[in-house]
Amino acid sequence: METHDEDLVVICDRERLFGEPIDDLAEEIREEIDGEKLTLEEHPNGTERVERHGWLVQHSLWLIHCDQLFDAEHSGQLDQYLTTLSIPRQTDVYVCIEDRGDEARQTLEETYRDRIEVITDKKVLVAKASTYLNMVNPARGTAGKMAIKGWNNAVCTLLEDFGGVNHG
């Protein structure tokens, strides 16, 4: 394992977060990645495929806008993922609340505890994602490769436990 591709799934109906196009945010995260052994691919269509557990679970970074969790129409499936053992613990889930304030943050943290990272600022998002990507990275040698392997194994376990359905 000399190189590795990480996947960022965007579960958000908006084209901009924190006032910036989501593409630009992803690019800012990429710019902070150390070396060339790891790439980050962005998947903007998460909202359309949120029911497809087998597909979603194979993305190690989730970028969710809080409306997706606060809106009853959308929240059911995501709520289930975030409150059960249906995604690897190693997966980082960023819930962007933008300027919704402390109440929104408190509600999310009480509901989903440390399963999610509540993000209030673009800089925090880039800092969290880049820290993750600089550790789960072949450039970190044995430790980085083991971290990748651990995540892969967790995905395999989940797909096996859930019957491997809905991969597409």
Partner 1 sequence: MVNEWRAIERAGEWAGLDTQQRDEYFVVVADIHNAEISSYGEFENYGEEYHDFLNSRVFSDDRVVDLLQSFGVDEATVDAFATGTVPVAETYHSEQLLEYGLDELVDLIMMLRLFDRYTTVADEPCLESRYRFQKLLFVTNLELKRTQTGSVVDESEFGLLETTGYRYSFRKRSSGPFSRSAYVDKDRLYANGLVEETVISDEGTGEVAEHEHTYGLELTLDGQMLLSRFDSVLGDFDSEILSDWDRAQERAISSLAGKTVDQIRAYIDSETDVAPRETGERLLPPRQATFTGDDDSADDAAEVSVDA
**Residues near partner 1, by CB under 8 A:** 32, 34-35, 85, 89-90, 92, 102, 105, 113-114, 118, 120-121, 123-124, 127-128, 130-132, 134-136, 139-144, 146-147, 149-150, 153-154, 156-157, 160-161
Q: Go through 64-88 and write b for each residue having 16 or more CB atoms within 10 A of its CB, e for each that does not.
A: bbbbbbeeeebbeebeebbeeeebb
Q: Which is nearer to partner 1, 37 or 52 (CB)?
A: 37
**Cα–Cα distance measured from residue 119 to residue 129, given in angstroms and rounded to the nearest whole number:** 11
The minimum distance between CB 45 and partner 1, in angstroms, equals: 26
CB 116, min distance to partner 1, A:
12
**Shortest distance (Å) from residue 75 CB to partner 1:** 21
Contacts of 56 (CB under 8 A, 6+ apart): 9, 46, 49, 50, 62, 81, 87
DSSP, res 71: S
Q: Which one, 74 or 94, has the nearer CB to partner 1? A: 94
